[in-house]
Structures are given as C-alpha cells and as structure tokens.
Structure 1
Amino acid sequence: MAKIISNPKNLQVLHEDNHLIVINKRPGDIVQGDKTGDTPLSEVVKQFIKEKYNKPGNVYLGVPHRLDRPTSGIVVFAKTSKALPRLNKLFAEKEAKKTYWAIVKNRPPKDFDTLTQWLRRNTKQNKSYANNKEVSNSKKAILTYRLIKELDNFFLLEIDLQTGRHHQIRAQLSAIGCPIKGDLKYGFDRSNKDGSIHLHARRLLFIHPVQKEPLEIIASTPNDPVWNAC
C-alpha cells in the first residue's frame, strides 16, 4: 500500500461547519492510526483545522466511521463533542444512506439485484467470507447493486448498503464472481500500482446531527484513467 498522501495543504474538504468536517479520502490514507505507524487521516485533519483557525493546543476530532485503507471517498469527522455521539448513533443505527461505486472485471449475473448473505470474519486474515446461509459467528449482510456503465474492459456498479459489515462490498461482490479492480484479497487477478482498489464512497445522505437539516455529500472519484472513463 502506498504511504500516506494527504496533508493539511491538499485535503479535499467536501463540507465543513462548526460541528462537522467531511473529507474525500484518497486511496492509501488510513482513517485512524494502526500498527503501520503511518500518519492517519484524522491527524492530518486535526492539523488542517489547527492551521486554518490558528488554534492553540490540541484540536478535538471524533471519528464516527471508517473506510478501508485502499478505498476512496467520503469520511465524516466530528469537530465537537456534541456532534460525535449523535454521529455514532446515526451510523450505528444505519440512518445514513451510503452509496458506493465499484469497478469490477466481470459483468454481474443481473444488471440489478439485492444480495443477502452471511459474512464470517477471519481476523487473522483480515478477511470476510460470504455464505448463502447462516453459519456460526456470521452476520447478515444486505446490499443492492445496479449496473450503471459498461467500459471497454470493466463494469461500473452503484451499490446501496443496508448493513455495514467488515469488507462487506468486497466480499459480497467477490462471491458473485465480480471482484473489484485491484482487490487481490478478494480475487482480482492483479493489484493496482498504487495499492488501491476501485471502490469509492460516492454519496452520503443524512440528517445533520446538530442542525437537523438534510445533508447530501457527493465525492468525485480519484484521478486515474479507469475512474475518469466513468
């Protein structure tokens, strides 16, 4: 995986107010710190806020949800302790409507379908396995996909999540023979040069946790030839 590529000078800020800041995450950024020791996006955003507003001392920033490191797209952060528990509740109770785009090599069996499977996570492999029936230690996973564009060698799918499981989209699409471009872990035949996968958190619709107004966020895709063809 490529090293961190966001910094306070090049953040793609999609929305900011007193309580929230929403970032278009680049593939390769980690949202929170992990064993790699790489600078997480949360720290980059803190530094951005500190510099933008000349804040002394530590900057508060809450992380109510995450995206996988090789994935791009929308990440919401809480700027206040008032907003964080409300955002946590919003994401935990699936009150935020999440739409993703994925580029896959194979045409799916249907142009539109709802997938209901049971995912079992293997923590040692950091991988989830999709089953067509409930098995021990599995969790029900539901998504709806639609084919929205055919490229020369790939297919663009739009995915609406109804549940939020570990690697859900990656595992469920792989299970129907449609691994995501670049996703070696889930069956694609070669990696992308930058270690990314072609999965993008495209749209997020939710009620602002403090202002109580509907908020729609749309994130542009990364700048590469395949995404640009979409």
Structure 2
Amino acid sequence: MWSGKIEDYILYEDKNIIVCHKPAGLAVQNARIGSADMESALKNYLYKKEPGKMPYLGIVHRLDQPVEGILVFAHTPFAAKELSRQISGGQMEKIYLAVTKEKPEKEEGILEDYLKKDGRTNMSAVVAEGTPGAKKARLSYQVIQEETERFLIKIKLDTGRHHQIRVQMAHAGMPLTGDRKYGGTTDTALGLCACSLTFLYPGSRKKMHFKVKPKGEAFKSFSL
C-alpha cells in the first residue's frame, strides 16, 4: 500500500543511484497526468532536497504496476548508461518470489518460451519460435515452501520480457495467485515480488546486493 511518502520506500541513496522498494499498485511511470508514480515521487523528493535544480532520474528497468519489489534508479547519465549496460549484458541478477495454488510438476526447472506482446491489450502470450515479433524468454524456478495448498516459488530471470514471469508460469500450468490477466485466482492481490537485486556499482564495479521481504497478502501464510 502506497503511503504517499517516497522516503518510506528508499533503501539506499547516493549521488549516483537510488534503490527503492516499490509498493504493489504504484506504477513506475504513469502516462496519466495527476496519477501517482515512482518517477514523479522521486523527482519531487530530489527537487525538494535541491530547490531550483532540475533533478536527473534515469529509469533503467521496471516492474509491472501490481508487482512489488526492488528497483534501482540512476541519479546521473553515467550511472544510467552503466546500469543499462549491465542489464543488456545479463550482469544484473533479479530474484523473485511468486505464489501459486497449482502444484508444479517438478520441484525445480527451467522455462524457455517465445513471447509476443499485444500492444492493444497490453498482454503477452507464448507463441511458436519464428513468430514475427516474438522474443525468447528464459527463467529458472524452485519450489521453496508449501503452505495450505499454496506454493512459494523462487524465480531467477535470465531475460526481461513483458509480463514474462506471469505469462510463462501460467503457460506451464502455474498461474500466480491474484493474476486476473493470466488465469490466476482472484482472492488476493498479485503474488509476485522482486525480492532480491544484485548489480555492480557504476564506476567502482563493487557488488551491491539488496533484499526485501514481500508485504503482499499472498505471502502472509509463509515463513519468510
């Protein structure tokens, strides 16, 4: 739940980067004027710290609006370039926790599919290899807990496609709880959290690692 104070969600901040725990329901960037989003909240926060100076804020990766979790923003063009390079080179490690009611056939595995986004519906679907506009998507998963017919799954993303985890898990027969778009249950909010992010600090290349505990209703029955 968005408190309205961006300071409540900042995990780390310096002259080059800002790391935040985005709450579920808040967009990273919103096209609708007057609607709250992470970008606007952070820019307002930075402007108040240095009035009269237009703050730089680079969005280098995103989370879907209903997904909570860790995001790193660039505070300088140099940091934006370096972080974007890590993402495109597969050097930024993203770990998620997801909840499903469907028992996976295997306790752990790798999902590889080709996804295509439909801009009209803002949804993606698994399609055949070679389909025009399709992109390869790959993730690995591991069941780490089972609690009252719900399964807590750890997911590592190897690619970053539109709605990737939600689409691939649903296609594999494991739709996420609360995922109304892709066949999940409707009893809770979306059970998906970007719980861990590891990257190299722009310039020094020092390893930076951040973890958060999911706050969503779907996770409350698990020991985290």
The TM-score, its normalising length taken from structure 2, stands at 0.91
Secondary structure of residue in 2 paired with 1:184: coil
Query: 1:208 — aligned with what?
Result: 201
Aligned to 2:136: 140
In structure 2, what is the Cα distance between the partners aligned to 1:54 and 1:36?
24
Query: Of the candidates 161, 166, 170, which is equivalent to residue 165 of structure 1?
Result: 161
Q: Which residue of 1 aligns with 2:147?
A: 151
Aligned equivalent of 1:122? 118
**SS of equivalent to 2:44:** helix
1:179 equivalent among 175, 182, 193: 175
Structure 1 segment 66-145 matched on structure 2, within 5 A: 66-131=62-127, 133-145=129-141
CA distance in 2, matches of 1:172, 1:19: 34
Q: RMSD of aligned C-alpha atoms?
A: 1.9
**Whole-angstrom distance in 2 between the partners of 1:115 and 1:9:** 35
Q: CA deviation at 1:107?
A: 1.1
Q: Per the alignment, do residues 205 and 121 of structure 1 end up closer, same or farther by CA in structure 2, a change over 3 Å counting? A: same
8 A Cα contact 2:176 2:185, kept in partner: no
1:13 aligns with 2:5: no
Structure 2 residue aligned with 1:221: 214
Q: Secondary structure at the match of 2:53?
A: coil
The TM-score normalised by the length of structure 1 is 0.89
Q: Which runs of 5+ in 1 are unaligned?
A: none
Instruction: Structure 2: give runs of 5+ residues left out of the alignment.
Output: none
* d(CA) in 1 for partners of 2:113, 2:2: 35
Aligned residues: 222
Q: Does 1:47 align with 2:44?
A: yes
- CA–CA distance in structure 1, aligned partners of residues 88 and 8 of structure 2: 26
Structure 2 CA distance for aligned equivalents of residues 17 and 228 of structure 1 = 33
CA contact (8 A) 2:141 2:153 kept: yes
